[in-house]
C-alpha cells in the first residue's frame, strides 16, 4: 500500500478547488438503477469509492462510461441482468447498500450481503429495512445476506427513529416508483439528500421537502434519464479550510457552497481563526494568531458534521486551552487519537467524549491512517508538525480525496507519495 511522506511546518497559501461531493455522488449513481434511460452525471470526483460504486452497477449489468479526467459519468441501466451483489463489493464500501431501494423498486427482488461492522462502528441497517418493509417489502436474513422481495412497493408513512442519511436515501429512491404517496418523517436533512432529490426530480420523480425533516414522495410509473451536476464536497472544503489555519497559512477554497459549512465556519471563528466568504462560492481561511480551545458536539446536519470532527480535533490539539469533543453520531470515531497522541497531542478519551489539552506544536512520526476522516486529520497534523511524518494506509484518503497530495503541493506542502515496493524487493535481516 502507498504511503505519504510529509515534511511539516510549511504554511499553505493560495487557491484550491474543491471536487464534487463523494457522499452526494454515491447515492446518485445508485439512483440511475431506477431508470432504463441514460443518465449523465457531471462533477464526479475520481475516488476509490466512486470506482467501487461503478463496479457495483456494472456487476448488476449496467453499461457505464466513466471519463474521470472530465468528471463525467454516463450510465445506462436498461438491462439489469442481476439483482445480487458479491460480498467483497459491499464489504469494501457500506454505501453499496444504497442499491437496495432502487433494485427493490425496479426489479422487486434483491440479494445483498449485509454491510456488517466497519472501522467507524457497528452501523446497522435496521432503519433502511424497517422503512422499506413499511412500503411492502419482505426481508429475510440468512448467511450474512439480506434478501428482499416485494409484489410492488406501496407508498407509506414512515418515521425514522434516527435521521439516518443512508436510510433516508434508500427510502426516497424506492418511493419514487412506489404506488401512491410516501411521507418520511424525521428524515436526514443533509445537502447530499437535497442533491439526490434534485437529481431524481430532474428524472421526473416527485420529491418535495428534501432538506427538511418531512419529505413527501409521490410515486410515478417510470423515471427518465437526465444530466445532473454533483454539488461541491463540503467535507473536502472543510478539510482544506482547516488545513489553511492549522498550518498558519492563508487559503482560498473555491467551488464551495458556504451555506453547507455554517457549523464549521462558526466553530472556526469561535476558535479565533480568520474566516471570510469571498464570493458566492469561495471561502478564505487564515491563521490569526494561535487558535483557542472550543467545545464541540457532532450532530446530524445542520449540526457539526461527524465527518469533520477528526480534522477539527487536530486544530484543537494545537489550540490554547482544553477542549471537549463529543461524538454522538458514530460510536467509534476516535481512532485517529492514538496517532495524534503519538505526534505529541494530549487527548484523553472517555467513551464518546474526548478531552483535548492543546499543545504548542506537534512532531512528525510514523502513523497509520485508521479510516478516511482519520487519515485527513493525521495529514493535517503532519502538515503542521515539526519534522517528517510517514502516513501509512493512505488508501483511506483516496476514498474521499482525489490527487490530494498533488493539489496540496501546489500550495507549498512538502508531500511525497511513495509507492509500496514490490514484495521481492523488501529487505530482510537487520
Which of the 8 DSSP states describes residue 121? B
Q: How far is the CB of 428 from ligand EPU (least distance, A)?
A: 37
Q: If you ran DSSP here, which 8-state letter would residue 180 be given?
A: S
Half-sphere exposure of residue 38, counting CA atoms within 13 Å on the CB side?
Answer: 7
The set of residues, in sequence order, having a beta carbon less than 8 Å from that of 364 and lying 6+ positions away, is: 6, 7, 8, 343, 382, 385, 386, 387, 388, 389
Give the residue, chosen from 44, 127, 345, 411, that forms a contact with ligand EPU under the rule CB under 6 A: 127
Nearer to ligand EPU, 306 or 323 (CB): 306
**β-strands 346-350, 322-326: how paired?**
unpaired
Q: What is the 3-state secondary structure (H, E, C) of 338-395?
A: HHHHHCCCEEEEECCEEEEECCCCCECCEEECCCHHHHHHHHHHHHHCECEEEEECCH
- Total chain residues near ligand EPU (CB under 6 A): 23
Minimum CB–partner distance for residue 164 and ligand EPU (Å): 3
d(CA 308, CA 316): 12
Q: Which of residues 247 and 306 has its CB atom nearest to ligand EPU in the complex? A: 306
Given the residues 25, 118, 145, 199, select the one marked as catalytic.
118
> Per CB under 6 A, does 123 bind ligand EPU?
yes
Q: Near ligand EPU by CB under 6 A, which window of 7-15, 163-171, 177-185, 215-223? A: 163-171
According to CB under 6 A, which residues from 380 to 419 bind ligand EPU? 400
Pull the grid cell for residue 57.
452497477
What is the 3-state composition of the chain as percent helix, strand, coil, each rounded to the nearest 5?
35, 30, 35
Span of 134-142, 159-167, 210-218, 241-249 interacting with ligand EPU by CB under 6 A: 159-167
Of 35 and 170, the one with the shorter C-beta distance to ligand EPU is 170
Q: Which of 78, 86, 121, 279 lies at the binding interface for ligand EPU (CB under 6 A)?
A: 121
Nearest to 14 by CA among 283, 278, 416, 410: 410
Interaction between residue 165 and ligand EPU (CB under 6 A): yes
- Closer residue to ligand EPU in complex, CB, 71/163: 163
Residue list 232-271, contact with ligand EPU (CB under 6 A): none
Question: Is 145 tagged catalytic?
Answer: no
146 belongs to the binding site for ligand EPU (CB under 6 A): no
Q: Which is nearer to ligand EPU, 358 or 398 (CB)?
A: 398
**Alpha-carbon 29 to chain mean position:** 14
329 touches ligand EPU by CB under 6 A: yes
- Confirm or reject binding of residue 166 to ligand EPU (CB under 6 A): yes
Is 26 or 383 the residue whose CB approaches ligand EPU more closely? 26
Near ligand EPU by CB under 6 A: residue from 7, 74, 94, 297: 94
Stretch touching ligand EPU by CB under 6 A, among 165-173, 200-208, 403-411, 413-421:
165-173
Binding of residue 125 to ligand EPU (CB under 6 A): yes
The pairing of strands 226-229 and 388-392 is unpaired
Measuring CA to CA, which residue among 44, 61, 33, 26 is closest to residue 223? Answer: 33
Residue 287 CB, shortest distance to ligand EPU, in Å, is: 26
Contact 13, 249 (CB under 8 A): yes
What does the DSSP assignment read for 300-351?
STTSB-GGGHHHHHHHHHTSBSEEEEE--S-TT--TTHHHHHHTT-EEEEET
CB of residue 217 vs ligand EPU: minimum separation in angstroms? 18
Read off the C-alpha cell for 352.
Answer: 464518546
Binding range to ligand EPU, per CB under 6 A, among 7-15, 126-134, 272-280, 387-395: 126-134
Cα R_g (the chain), whole angstroms: 22
* Residue nearest to ligand EPU according to CB distances in the complex: 166
Beta bridge pairs of residue 236: none
Point out the residues that are catalytic.
118
- Residues of this chain that interact with ligand EPU (CB under 6 A) are 23, 26, 94-95, 121, 123-128, 162, 164-167, 306-307, 329-330, 372-373, 400
Amino acid at each position: 500500500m502507498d504511503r505519504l511522506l510529509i515534511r511539516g511546518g510549511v504554511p499553505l497559501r493560495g487557491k484550491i478547488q474543491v471536487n464534487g461531493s463523494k457522499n452526494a455522488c454515491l447515492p446518485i449513481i445508485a439512483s440511475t438503477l431506477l431508470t432504463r434511460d441514460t443518465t449523465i452525471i457531471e462533477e464526479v470526483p475520481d475516488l476509490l469509492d466512486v470506482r467501487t460504486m461503478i463496479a457495483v452497477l456494472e456487476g448488476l449489468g449496467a453499461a457505464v462510461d466513466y471519463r474521470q479526467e472530465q468528471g463525467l459519468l454516463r450510465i445506462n441501466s436498461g438491462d439489469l441482468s442481476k439483482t445480487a451483489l458479491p460480498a467483497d463489493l459491499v464489504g469494501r464500501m457500506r454505501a453499496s447498500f444504497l442499491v437496495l431501494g432502487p433494485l427493490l423498486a425496479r426489479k422487486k427482488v434483491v440479494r445483498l450481503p449485509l454491510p456488517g461492522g466497519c472501522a467507524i462502528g457497528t452501523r446497522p441497517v435496521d432503519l433502511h429495512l424497517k422503512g422499506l418493509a413499511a412500503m411492502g417489502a419482505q426481508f429475510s436474513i440468512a448467511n450474512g445476506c439480506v434478501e428482499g422481495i416485494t409484489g410492488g412497493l406501496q407508498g407509506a408513512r414512515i418515521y425514522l427513529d434516527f435521521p439516518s442519511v443512508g436510510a433516508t436515501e434508500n427510502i426516497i429512491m424506492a418511493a419514487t416508483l412506489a404506488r401512491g404517496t410516501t411521507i418520511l418523517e424525521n428524515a436526514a436533512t443533509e445537502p447530499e439528500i437535497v442533491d439526490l432529490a434534485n437529481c431524481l426530480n430532474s428524472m421526473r420523480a416527485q420529491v418535495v421537502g428534501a432538506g427538511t425533516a418531512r419529505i413527501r414522495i409521490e410515486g410515478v410509473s417510470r423515471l427518465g434519464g437526465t444530466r445532473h451536476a454533483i454539488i461541491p464536497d463540503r467535507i473536502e472544503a472543510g478539510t482544506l479550510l482547516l488545513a489553511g489555519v492549522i498550518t498558519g497559512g492563508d487559503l482560498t477554497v473555491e467551488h464551495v457552497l458556504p451555506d453547507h459549512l455554517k457549523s464549521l465556519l462558526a466553530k472556526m471563528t469561535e476558535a479565533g481563526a480568520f474566516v471570510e466568504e469571498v464570493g458566492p462560492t469561495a471561502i478564505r481561511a487564515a491563521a490569526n494568531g494561535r487558535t483557542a480551545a472550543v467545545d464541540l458536539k457532532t450532530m446530524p446536519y445542520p449540526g457539526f458534521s461527524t465527518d469533520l470532527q477528526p480534522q477539527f480535533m487536530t486544530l484543537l490539539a494545537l489550540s490554547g486551552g482544553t477542549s471537549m469533543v463529543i461524538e454522538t453520531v458514530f460510536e467509534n470515531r476516535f481512532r485517529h487519537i492514538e496517532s495524534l497522541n503519538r505526534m505529541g497531542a494530549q487527548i484523553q478519551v472517555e467513551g464518546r467524549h474526548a478531552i483535548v489539552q492543546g499543545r504548542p506544536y506537534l512532531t512528525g512520526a510514523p502513523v497509520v491512517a485508521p479510516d478516511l476522516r482519520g487519515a485527513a486529520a493525521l495529514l493535517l497534523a503532519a502538515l503542521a508538525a515539526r519534522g517528517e511524518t510517514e502516513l501509512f494506509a493512505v488508501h483511506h484518503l483516496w476514498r474521499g480525496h482525489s490527487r490530494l497530495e498533488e493539489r496540496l503541493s501546489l500550495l507549498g506542502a512538502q508531500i511525497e507519495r511513495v509507492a509500496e515496493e514490490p514484495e521481492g524487493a523488501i529487505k530482510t535481516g537487520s
